[in-house]
Amino acid sequence: MVALFENRLAYLSVSLVLLVAGFPLVSIGTTAGSPMVWGAGLLALVCGGLIPPLQRVWVGRPLDIENDESQSEEVQSDIEVSQEQKEPKK
């Protein structure tokens, strides 16, 4: 289970599948009067919604977010250069 939380694409994909599958299950369970299906859908929604926050608690921030500070400096310098190029020369 911990290996799932180390791969960002894997845990976000599982979360998305649970969320997408949960809504129809809740709807079918409600209209058909089946509490088991309704409960399974609700459980899928809750689990799908909790996976990303639990990943941050157990494993920490994803690696691509940790490198965001260095990227933001590069982006800021690129923005400054593009603004200088857009200013009319006098």
Where exactly are the structural domains of the chain?
A: 1-61
Tens-digit pLDDT string for the chain (90 aa): 666 667 778 888 889 999 999 999 999 998 988 889 999 999 999 999 988 888 888 777 655 554 445 556 666 666 666 666 666 655
How far lies 36's CA from each of 16, 18, 24, 39, 86, in Å?
Answer: 22, 16, 13, 5, 62
pLDDT score recorded for residue 88: 62
pLDDT score recorded for residue 70: 52
Q: Are 58 and 2 in contact (CB under 8 A)?
A: yes
Give the pTM.
Answer: 0.58
Separation of alpha carbons 37 and 33, rounded Å: 9
pLDDT score recorded for residue 51: 86
